[in-house]
């Protein structure tokens, strides 16, 4: 069966088609091939439905919360209805707030900005930098970095111990990822939330990798906040979400000062200005809202719900099983894992190949097979370095000889997928891995601007 026939077959039965399925990319060895997007964990392709919804709305685009005109009214309704749709998708409680941000990074920085003075923050060293780094920027927060656990149960024990040792404390926050952007492994969010709450702490869930693959229900998980990004949820229009408890959001200074966040501004007798800030989500949404971004996220939430997230999960689990079984047949491949083979996971997997520099391997997957993966440390440096066995032995470049057998790898390769991924992409990937390991790359590569690229100079 040809590649295009497989892709077409899948499209027919796929309830969640994505854009880009028929995009052809050049191969360095000659000819073209349809692009196999296996880097959903970085940015997922847009759902066709999201694209269609945005295109249908585009002619009606208008200012939000600002205009008297019909299209402004319509756009304001669309924006606020999008908030309600997202709240429903996330299982928010009645008094939770949904704040539209730019991304998960922005959401977690917003949360860091609104924490009460002196809040103690507990965060695992295994987090993505977006959830690892925002807290220490505020000098008054006391951050405790927790060691990498080797089982989900150990994660709960480590947190319990840290919370107990540091008692008593005032406001406290635990920050945890729902699904690792490196291993795809699920973290025991419900259990961590219970531990946090038992000690009077709150918890924020970084759902950047969880929400696109798995139902997220704030009330059921008993999490206080959740953050995610539209571009990983098939809605790449520059918006993200922070949703959860209203009180700390309402009590803090606005994240950004400006129009939209303020209800009224008056001159004070002393010559300054007095501001009455909103107490709703608008308090942290100063400036003209990104209505298309918010609407795109709401459209994705609806599409995923209507298609049945459980169907998406089942399809993805089958692809994960196939991928893992295929990689297990290649002894040179080592899959990175914190929690072991039996851990529940989403469609994200990282690995290294004995004797290969990961950048070289990823470049060959792209140039010779049309497969897009990611190589590096995936903005989770402490975690990936732990999984790779520590600091690298030598800072080799891809043009330099590949890693010697037994040498600690510099970085890893990540493959990730989701809605709209045809079986053929996973099969092509496994075939490519097998061929590269057995026969080596067919082309020469060199380092250019820090990236490994095919050497076309000869």
CB-nearer residue toward ligand PMP: 372 or 454:
372
Rg (CA), the chain: 23
Beta bridge partner(s), residue 26: 32
CB 288 → ligand PMP: shortest distance, Å?
A: 21
Length of the chain: 458
CB-nearer residue toward ligand PMP: 105 or 357:
105
- Active site annotation includes 301: no
CB-nearer residue toward ligand PMP: 28 or 179:
179
CB 141 → ligand PMP: shortest distance, Å?
A: 19
Whether 372 and 36 have beta carbons less than 8 Å apart is answered as yes
Nearest residue to 239 via CA among 253, 226, 228: 228
CB 348 → ligand PMP: shortest distance, Å?
A: 8
- Structure token pair of residue 30: 């000659």
CB-nearer residue toward ligand PMP: 362 or 364:
362
**DSSP H stretches of helix in 309-444:** 309-328, 358-369, 381-388, 423-439
CB 223 → ligand PMP: shortest distance, Å?
A: 15
CB 164 → ligand PMP: shortest distance, Å?
A: 27
Beta bridge partner(s), residue 409: none
- Structure token pair of residue 181: 């952007």
- Structure token pair of residue 317: 């689990």
Nearest residue to 47 via CA among 214, 318, 371, 297: 297
CB-nearer residue toward ligand PMP: 111 or 396:
111
d(CA 273, CA 293) in angstroms, rounded, equals: 32
List of residues contacting ligand PMP (CB under 6 A): 41, 103-105, 128, 130-131, 177, 181, 206, 208-209, 229, 231, 379
CB-nearer residue toward ligand PMP: 213 or 231:
231
CB 380 → ligand PMP: shortest distance, Å?
A: 8
DSSP secondary structure string for all residues of 94-159: TT-EEEEESSHHHHHHHHHHHSPTT-EEEEETTS-HHHHSSGGGSTTSEEEEEPPPSSHHHHHHHH
Residue 91: which residues within 8 A CB-CB, separation 6 or more? 216, 217, 218, 219, 220, 221
CB-nearer residue toward ligand PMP: 298 or 346:
346
CB 209 → ligand PMP: shortest distance, Å?
A: 5
d(CA 264, CA 379) in angstroms, rounded, equals: 41
Residue 20: which residues within 8 A CB-CB, separation 6 or more? 35, 37, 45
Catalytic residue among 13, 379, 398, 452: 379
d(CA 370, CA 39) in angstroms, rounded, equals: 12
The 3-class SS string of 331-353 reads CCEEECCCCCCCCCECCEEEEEE
Catalytic residue ranges: 379
């Amino acid at each position: 069966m040809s590649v295009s026939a497989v892709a077409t077959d899948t499209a027919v039965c796929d309830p969640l088609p994505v854009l880009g399925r028929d995009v052809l990319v050049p191969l360095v060895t000659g000819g073209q091939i349809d692009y196999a997007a296996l880097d959903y964990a970085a940015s997922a392709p847009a759902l066709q439905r999201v694209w269609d919804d945005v295109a249908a709305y585009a002619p009606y685009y208008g200012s939000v919360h600002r205009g008297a005109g019909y299209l402004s009214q319509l756009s304001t309704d669309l924006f606020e209805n999008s908030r309600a749709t997202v709240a429903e998708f996330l299982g928010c409680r009645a008094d939770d707030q949904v704040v539209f941000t730019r991304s998960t990074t922005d959401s977690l920085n917003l949360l860091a900005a609104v924490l009460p003075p002196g809040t103690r923050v507990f965060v695992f060293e295994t987090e993505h930098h977006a959830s690892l780094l925002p807290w220490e920027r505020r000098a008054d927060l006391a951050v405790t970095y927790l060691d990498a656990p080797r089982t989900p149960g150990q994660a709960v024990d480590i947190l319990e111990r840290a919370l107990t040792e540091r008692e008593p404390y005032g406001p406290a926050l635990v920050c945890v990822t729902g699904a690792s952007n490196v291993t795809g492994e699920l973290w025991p969010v419900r259990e961590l939330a219970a531990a946090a709450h038992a000690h009077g702490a709150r918890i924020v869930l970084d759902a950047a990798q969880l929400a696109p693959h798995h139902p997220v229900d704030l009330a059921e998980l008993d999490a206080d906040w959740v953050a995610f990004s539209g571009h990983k949820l098939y809605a790449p229009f520059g918006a993200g979400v922070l949703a959860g408890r209203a009180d700390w959001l309402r009590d803090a200074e606005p994240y950004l000062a400006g129009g939209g966040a303020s209800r009224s501004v008056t001159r004070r007798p002393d010559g300054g200005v007095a501001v009455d800030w909103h107490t709703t989500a608008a308090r942290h949404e100063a400036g003209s809202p990104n209505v298309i971004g918010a609407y795109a996220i709401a459209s994705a939430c609806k599409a995923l719900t209507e298609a049945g997230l459980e169907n998406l999960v089942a399809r993805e689990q089958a692809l994960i099983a196939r991928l893992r079984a295929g990689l297990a047949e290649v002894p040179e491949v080592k899959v990175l894992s914190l929690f072991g083979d039996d851990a529940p996971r989403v469609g994200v997997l990282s690995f290294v190949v004995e004797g290969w520099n990961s950048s070289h391997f990823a470049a060959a997957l792209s140039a010779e097979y049309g497969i897009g993966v990611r190589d590096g440390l995936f903005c989770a440096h402490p975690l990936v370095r732990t999984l790779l066995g520590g600091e690298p032995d030598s800072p080799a470049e891809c043009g330099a000889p590949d890693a010697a057998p037994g040498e600690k790898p510099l970085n890893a390769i990540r493959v990730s997928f989701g809605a709209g991924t045809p079986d053929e992409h996973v099969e092509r990937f496994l075939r490519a891995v097998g061929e590269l390991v057995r026969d080596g790359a067919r082309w020469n590569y060199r380092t250019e601007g820090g990236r490994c690229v095919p050497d076309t100079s000869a």
